[in-house]
Amino acid sequence: MPHLAICKPHDDDGLLLLHCDESWEILGLQDWNGPGVQRITAVEAMKLKAKRFYEGLMACWIEVSPGTSR
């Protein structure tokens, strides 16, 4: 996966992991906040969850402010 982004929907307190292409177009998402599952609401917790699926990911995260384009 070229890019991953952790995002918070406006209408929910749970976080999403977006799978994006080289232009940051969304290809899909991982929502680990389904029914009966404890919601992931902290960015660090989402990073740790994603780390289980993407080796070497932890050193690659870059924090950007809302509204910032990459």
61 lies in some domain: no
67 lies in some domain: no
And the tokens for 56? 């070497």
66 lies in some domain: no
For 26-41, write each residue's pLDDT tens digit: 999 887 777 787 889 9
DSSP class of residue 37 equals S
Instruction: Please answer whether residues 6 and 17 qualify as being in contact, where contact means their C-beta atoms are separated by less than 8 angstroms.
Output: yes
60 lies in some domain: no
51 lies in some domain: yes
And the tokens for 32? 């680990």
* Amino acid identity for residue 59 in this structure: A
Q: Which residue has the higher pLDDT, 23 or 58?
A: 23
* Residues facing residue 68 across a β-bridge: none
Instruction: Please answer whether residues 46 and 31 qualify as being in contact, where contact means their C-beta atoms are separated by less than 8 angstroms.
Output: no
Q: Is the pLDDT of residue 63 over 70?
A: yes
Q: Count how many domains the chain has.
A: 1
Place 56 in a pLDDT band, splitting at 50, 70 and 90.
confident
Note down the domain range covering 35: 3-55
Q: What is the pTM of this model?
A: 0.78
Q: Mean pLDDT in the chain? A: 85
68 lies in some domain: no
Q: How far apart are the first and last CA of the chain?
A: 16
26 lies in some domain: yes
